[in-house]
Amino acid sequence: MRKLDPVVPFEPVRTEVIPDGIEWVHQIKWDGVRVLSYLDREGIRLFNRKKNERTAVFPELADVRTSAAAESFILDGEVIALDQEGRPSFHEVMRRDGIGRPDRVKTAMKNVPVYYMIFDLIYLNGEWLNDRPLNERLDLLGGIVTPSDRIQLTPIHQDGTALFQTVKKLGLEGIVSKNTRSRYIVNGQNSDWRKIKNYKDLIAVIGGVTYRSGIVHSVLLGLYDRLNRLIYIGHCGTGKLTAAEWRAFSAFIVPLETDSMPFAIRPADSKGVRWLKPWLTAKVHYIDWRAGHSLRQPSIQAFVNQDPEKCRIKEDDHGNFA
């Protein structure tokens, strides 16, 4: 049995239109962390989309080895954690994914249970399947995986519009529509897979903060433009972070404070702001964002480990930011 090297997964393109037709199937888009699991001569190993190993971070998901009847495989899926209402929460799963100390994993397993939602199979028993059509891969996947409490197969739906309406009612992230004839392009992206989101999100650079009673009350967000200028896109002080997390963040950023404003243009309401070196990033949900305006109803989901230089403005043909 050969050792399998981690790969960069196939990605969907973002669209606003749900494709229709018998050649399309639709799945819920979970607000989680993309993880591929590998069974080879090394045993079971988990890697994220950046090929960083997560086996020790999610040890309970090693059960996928016994849930899948195969000698070797590469499974693609998403690790999720639930909020108090039982909905997938990016904030909760990041509490697990961000653990840096092995001695804290056992406690985190009790406090933040995770689940593995599998949606593709790209390698099986010594054979690559990525050039086979999706419908064949899904048939093989359903034949080898026995779902359990932690390990699940992502359900497939024929009616994308009905599924999206359900997603909206439940407040979930969105759906992914997939062409049943699609190949799985490693480290690729095309319109054979399309994601339609119930809300919009982005990863932004934190360029400043305001305080209330010594604790960070809000953050000032920005994205880089074509000229590598950090463009201010709005304040954000709401979200899913707990008071304890805000306190920890307040202590963490002290060495990053600077007298130099990182934004290209000073924000209109910058009274009392303390500027930060633009090294930290956060995932933000928002309702709308028009050219020349700040984000509408932004909400921080989690602080994330993203290269700030990759946090850039993208503008569509209508002058809207995406």
Which of 3-7, 29-33, 84-88 bottoms out in mean pLDDT, i.e. has the lowest? 84-88
User: In this structure, what token pair is assigned to residue 17?
Assistant: 């239109």
Answer yes or no: do 34 and 171 share one domain.
yes
Secondary structure (H, E, C), the chain:
CCCCCCCCCCEEEECCCCCCCCCEEEEEECCCEEEEEEEECCEEEEEECCCCECCCCCHHHHHHHHHECCCCEEEEEEEECECCCCCECHHHHHHHHCCCCHHHHHHHHHHCCCEEEEEEEEEECCEECCCCCHHHHHHHHHHHECCCCCEEECCCECCHHHHHHHHHHHCCCEEEEEECCCCCCCCCEEEEEEEEECCEEEEEEEEEEEEECCEEEEEEEEEECCCCCEEEEEEECCECCCHHHHHHHHHHCHHHEECCCCECCCCCCCCCCEEEEEEEEEEEEECECECCCCCECCEEEEEECCCHHHCECCECCCCEEC
Q: End of a domain among 197, 215, 241?
A: 197
Domain range for 248 is 200-310
Q: How many domains does the chain have?
A: 2
Question: Has residue 95 been placed in a domain?
Answer: yes
Answer yes or no: do 210 and 139 share one domain.
no
Question: Has residue 304 been placed in a domain?
Answer: yes
pLDDT of residue 102: 85
Q: The pTM is what? A: 0.76
Q: What percent of the chain has pLDDT over 70?
A: 96
CATH of the domain at 265: 2.40.50.140
Answer yes or no: do 145 and 228 share one domain.
no
Q: Which residues contact 219 (CB under 8 A, 6 or more apart)?
A: 206, 208, 209, 235, 236, 237, 282, 300
Answer yes or no: do 192 and 210 share one domain.
no
Region 117-128 average pLDDT: 98
Answer yes or no: do 127 and 217 share one domain.
no
Answer yes or no: do 204 and 256 share one domain.
yes
CATH of the domain at 41: 3.30.470.30
Region 84-95 average pLDDT: 88
Q: Which residues contact 132 (CB under 8 A, 6 or more apart)?
A: 183
315 versus 165: the higher-pLDDT residue is: 165
- Contact 217/211 with Cβ under 8 angstroms? yes
Q: End of a domain among 172, 197, 222?
A: 197
Question: Has residue 249 been placed in a domain?
Answer: yes
Q: End of a domain among 170, 197, 224?
A: 197
Answer yes or no: do 211 and 191 share one domain.
no
pLDDT band at 319 (very low <50, low <70, confident <90, very high): very low
Question: Has residue 251 been placed in a domain?
Answer: yes
Region 163-171 average pLDDT: 93
Question: Has residue 316 been placed in a domain?
Answer: no
User: In this structure, what token pair is assigned to residue 233?
Assistant: 């896109």
Answer yes or no: do 140 and 121 share one domain.
yes
Question: Has residue 20 been placed in a domain?
Answer: yes
Answer yes or no: do 134 and 244 share one domain.
no
Across the chain, mean pLDDT equals 92
